[in-house]
């Protein structure tokens, strides 16, 4: 038997009180905050143990919300973005109120519908120093921001960079009605010639700057088509 400390024993699973949901090590959970006005904490369960009186405790690794990080929420942070921290705790299993899924950034951008339980994480976060890993990500648009999966972006047919409508002086509605798009630099350079072919809305990017290929999802009359794409970044 795997005994960690005298009188304690490891458990394979825990049933969330009042539900039929089973939590196992490796699962992500929502935990009730002391201040009930706040959103639930999100954590990954590393270990589940019971003491000699059958009180169940979980060792958790916390996910931080952008608001809880030293730098705060930035414009490129998605609504469902979390940072996997190096901050661990022991918590009573009673504070677990539900399960959730923390996707990789790539998988999150491929979801057809984002449910309440879906989150994503593209950075690890050191709670003591406020440092992120990776510390560099690919940036897009004139504003040179990392991709926020909640924001619509449009691809320039010439330079293939992605742009925020607002940074190009367009509304989202105007952008959706466009049949072709050239960014301001490319439309100044290139007025005619080339036949314009495909038109893409919304990038799906891998977060690391060193990654040279990623997938692009194009929403086409309700169905998603996935294309391979290479970036020379
Ligand atoms: Zn921009
Ligand atoms: Zn361009």
Q: pTM, whole model, 2 decimals?
A: 0.76
Q: Which pLDDT does position 36 carry in this prediction?
A: 83
* Nearest ligand to residue 189 Cα: 2
Tokens at 77, concatenated: 């942070």
Q: Under 8 Å CB-to-CB from 88, ≥6 apart: which residues?
A: 46, 59, 60, 61, 62
Q: Which pLDDT does position 14 carry in this prediction?
A: 97
Name the residue ranges covered by the structural domains of the chain: 7-135, 151-191
Measure 152 CA to ligand 1 centroid, in angstroms.
Answer: 10
* Nearest ligand to residue 168 Cα: 1
Q: Which pLDDT does position 16 carry in this prediction?
A: 96
Q: Which pLDDT does position 197 carry in this prediction?
A: 52
Q: Is the pLDDT of residue 22 over 50?
A: yes
Per-residue pLDDT tens over the stretch 122-165? 999 999 999 999 988 999 999 999 999 999 999 999 999 999 99
Cα 147 to its chain centre, rounded Å, is 11
Per-residue pLDDT tens over the stretch 158-180? 999 999 999 999 999 999 898 89
41-50 and 9-11: which strand pairing?
antiparallel
Q: Under 8 Å CB-to-CB from 188, ≥6 apart: which residues?
A: none
Q: Under 8 Å CB-to-CB from 164, ≥6 apart: which residues?
A: 141, 143, 145, 151, 152, 153
Would you place residue 34 in the very low, low, confident or very high pLDDT band (cuts 50, 70, 90)?
confident
Measure 169 CA to ligand 1 centroid, in angstroms.
Answer: 10
Per-residue pLDDT tens over the stretch 77-99? 999 999 999 999 999 999 999 99
Q: Residue with structure tokens 């309700």?
A: 222
Q: Looking at 3-7, 72-76, 207-211, which range is the least confident one?
A: 207-211
* Nearest ligand to residue 164 Cα: 1
Tokens at 53, concatenated: 């009186």
CATH superfamily of 151-191: Zinc/RING finger domain, C3HC4 (zinc finger) (3.30.40.10)
Measure 134 CA to ligand 2 centroid, in angstroms.
Answer: 27
Measure 197 CA to ligand 1 centroid, in angstroms.
Answer: 23
CATH number of this structure's domain 7-135: 2.30.30.490
Would you place residue 76 in the very low, low, confident or very high pLDDT band (cuts 50, 70, 90)?
very high
Per-residue pLDDT tens over the stretch 184-230? 999 887 655 555 555 666 665 543 333 323 333 333 333 333 232 33
Residues with beta carbon < 5 A to ion ligand 2?
A: 156, 158-159, 183, 186
3-state helix, strand and coil shares in percent for the chain, rounded to the nearest 5: 10, 35, 50
Tokens at 87, concatenated: 């901050």
Would you place residue 7 in the very low, low, confident or very high pLDDT band (cuts 50, 70, 90)?
confident
215: left (phi over 0), alpha (psi -120 to 50) or beta: beta
What SS3 state is found at 192?
coil
* Nearest ligand to residue 161 Cα: 2
Measure 177 CA to ligand 2 centroid, in angstroms.
Answer: 18
Tokens at 199, concatenated: 């038109």
**Cα end-to-end distance, the chain, whole Å:** 51
Fold equal for 7-135 and 151-191: no
């Amino acid at each position: 038997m795997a005994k960690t400390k005298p009188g304690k024993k490891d458990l394979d699973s825990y049933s969330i009180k009042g539900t039929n949901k089973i939590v196992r090590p490796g699962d992500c959970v929502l935990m009730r905050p002391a201040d009930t006005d706040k959103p639930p904490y999100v954590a990954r369960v590393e270990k589940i143990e019971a003491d000699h009186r059958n009180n169940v405790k979980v060792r958790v690794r916390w996910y931080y919300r952008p608001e809880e990080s030293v730098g705060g929420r930035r414009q490129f942070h998605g609504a469902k973005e979390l940072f996997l921290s190096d901050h661990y705790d022991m918590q009573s299993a009673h504070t677990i109120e539900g399960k959730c899924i923390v996707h990789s950034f790539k998988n999150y951008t491929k979801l057809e519908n984002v449910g309440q339980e879906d989150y994503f994480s593209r950075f690890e976060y050191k709670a003591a120093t406020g440092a992120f890993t990776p510390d560099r990500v690919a940036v897009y648009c004139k504003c040179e921001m990392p991709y926020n999966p909640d924001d619509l972006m449009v691809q320039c047919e010439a330079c293939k960079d992605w742009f925020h409508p607002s940074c190009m002086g367009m509304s989202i509605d105007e952008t959706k009605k466009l049949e072709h798009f050239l960014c301001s630099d490319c439309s100044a350079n290139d007025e005619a010639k080339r036949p314009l072919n495909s038109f893409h809305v919304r990038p799906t990017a891998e977060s690391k700057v060193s990654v040279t290929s990623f997938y692009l999802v194009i929403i086409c009359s309700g169905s998603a088509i996935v294309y391979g794409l290479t970036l020379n970044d």
